[in-house]
């Protein structure tokens, strides 16, 4: 193929991800995670994550190249996450990308992590129809995006005003004495619970915005746990998990579908670690079917942070003919789309 071979590098949080992409084809990819080093802290420790990126970066590039059967000299362009993300973590990836760019004499493209979460869907389901709406739900973000063009025109419709959706799962898991990260154990517990056993608040429900809020929900769960403690009642973890989860996925899917309807968009992409959630998938499928919307959810490995998402977006940016970044490319912890 005469499409350029893109090396993508991701290091915005706790995953060191590197991948090789040509067009919509994923040729090789490797991810090293430092999540095990954060477990005892119940959340990502920035300094620990930065150090882990430094140790993992070059070996991960090696593994990605090997898995693609490619050599470094085959690479035509380097794409790297310039933000948003953790300051020190971003610096490691961008520094590595600059070094490869300079050594190979190939162009460097700093790209947006959030848009990468959408672009990655093309590796699984082919070119994304334009426009599309994307719901990004992970430990770090809860964003609703209107994607007119991946490379040149993405509009933020809404965001969380406090905790990210995954962060809410992690905090509620802690209250219920479930392990970190909290999404998978809550998902599992909820499958045996009764979501109607209690009702938790839906943050920013029907407020006419596409913003989200999960801190009130977390506080409501905390109060419920305290009350049960005080009264010496047993905690029905499965029911609490199910009711909490229903509150989260109800508001996420409602606002995502509303955005599609308002903007006349017939494709919804859901990505980020929380996209693995079984209740979110089920309710999104049902509500999209009812509204005549095509739902696209990349496979779990592509939903969580990885290099393929950055390489996929890099391929779009190169195809759009955008100018490369200069070698003094800076990182931006709150880079807008």
Q: Which residues bind ligand KG4 (CB under 6 A)?
A: 13, 138-140, 166, 169-170, 181-184, 187, 272-274, 276-277, 304-305
CA dihedral 205, 206, 212, 215 (to 10 degrees): -30
Q: Does 138 bind Zn ion (CB under 5 A)?
A: yes
8 or 273: CB nearest ligand KG4: 273
SS3 204: coil
**Residue ranges with strand state E in the chain:** 6-10, 15-22, 25-33, 77-83, 108-112, 132-137, 142-149, 153-159, 267-271, 294-296
Q: Which candidate, 252, 245, 251, places its Cα nearest to that of 279?
A: 245
Residue ranges of the binding site:
113, 117, 136-140, 170, 183, 187, 277, 305
Least CB distance to ligand KG4 at residue 169 (A): 4
Q: With respect to ligand KG4, which residue has the nearer C-beta, 43 or 129?
A: 43
The listed partner (Zn ion, ligand KG4, none) that binds 314, CB under 5 to 8 Å by sort, is none
Binding residues for Fe cation: 113, 117, 305
Q: What are phi and psi of 266, to 5 degrees?
A: -115, 15
For the chain, how many residues are written? Answer: 337
Residue from 20, 305, 315, 316 binding Zn ion (CB under 5 A): 305
* Angle, vertex CA 156, rays to CA 308 and CA 137, nearest 5: 50
Q: How near is the Cβ of 56 to ligand KG4 at its closest, in Å?
A: 16
Compute and round to an integer the Cα radius of gyration of the chain.
Answer: 20
Residue ranges for the binding site for substrate?
136-140, 170, 183, 187, 277
Q: How far is the CB of 10 from ligand KG4 (least distance, A)?
A: 10
What φ, ψ does residue 209 adopt, rounded to 5°?
Answer: -115, 170
CB of 266 to ligand KG4, least distance (A): 26
- 201, interface contact from ligand KG4, Zn ion, none, CB < 5-8 Å by kind: none
Nearer to ligand KG4, 77 or 335 (CB): 335
Min dist. Cβ of residue 115 to ligand KG4 (A)? 14
From 135-143, 172-180, 231-239, 328-336, give the range in contact with Zn ion by CB under 5 A: 135-143
If one asks whether residue 10 binds Zn ion (CB under 5 A), the answer comes out as: no
Contact 150, 200 (CB under 8 A): no
Phi, psi for residue 160 in degrees, rounded to 5: -80, 145
Binding site for Zn ion (CB under 5 A): 138, 305
């Amino acid at each position: 193929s005469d499409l350029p071979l893109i090396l993508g590098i991701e290091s915005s949080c706790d995953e060191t991800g590197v991948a090789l992409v040509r067009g919509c084809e994923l040729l090789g990819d490797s991810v090293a995670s430092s999540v095990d080093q954060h477990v005892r802290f119940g959340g990502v420790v920035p300094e620990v994550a930065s150090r882990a990126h430094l140790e993992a970066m070059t070996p991960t590039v090696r593994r990605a190249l090997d898995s693609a059967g490619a050599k470094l000299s085959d690479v035509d362009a380097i794409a790297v996450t310039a933000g948003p993300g953790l300051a020190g973590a971003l610096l490691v990836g961008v520094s590595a990308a600059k070094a490869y760019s300079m050594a190979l004499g190939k162009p460097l493209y700093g790209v947006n992590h959030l848009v990468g979460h959408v672009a990655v869907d093309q590796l699984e389901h082919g070119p994304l129809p334009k426009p599309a709406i994307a719901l990004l739900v992970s430990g770090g973000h809860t964003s609703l995006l209107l994607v007119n063009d991946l490379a040149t025109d993405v509009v933020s419709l809404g965001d969380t005003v406090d905790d990210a959706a995954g962060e809410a799962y992690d905090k509620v898991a802690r209250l219920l004495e479930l392990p970190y990260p909290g999404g998978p154990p809550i998902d599992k517990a909820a499958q045996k619970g009764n979501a109607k056993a209690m009702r938790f608040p839906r943050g920013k429900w029907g407020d006419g915005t596409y913003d989200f809020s999960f801190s009130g929900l977390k506080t409501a769960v905390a109060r419920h746990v305290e009350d049960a403690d005080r009264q010496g009642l047993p905690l029905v973890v499965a029911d609490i998990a199910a009711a909490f989860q229903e509150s989260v996925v109800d508001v996420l899917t409602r606002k995502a579908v509303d955005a599609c309807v308002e903007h006349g968009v017939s494709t919804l992409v859901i990505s980020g670690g929380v996209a693995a959630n079984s209740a979110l998938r089920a309710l999104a499928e049902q509500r999209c079917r009812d509204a005549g919307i095509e739902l696209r959810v990349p496979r779990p490995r592509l939903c969580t942070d990885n290099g393929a998402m950055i390489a996929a977006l890099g391929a779009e940016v190169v195809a759009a003919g955008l100018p490369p970044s200069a070698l003094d490319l800076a990182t931006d912890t709150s880079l807008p789309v």
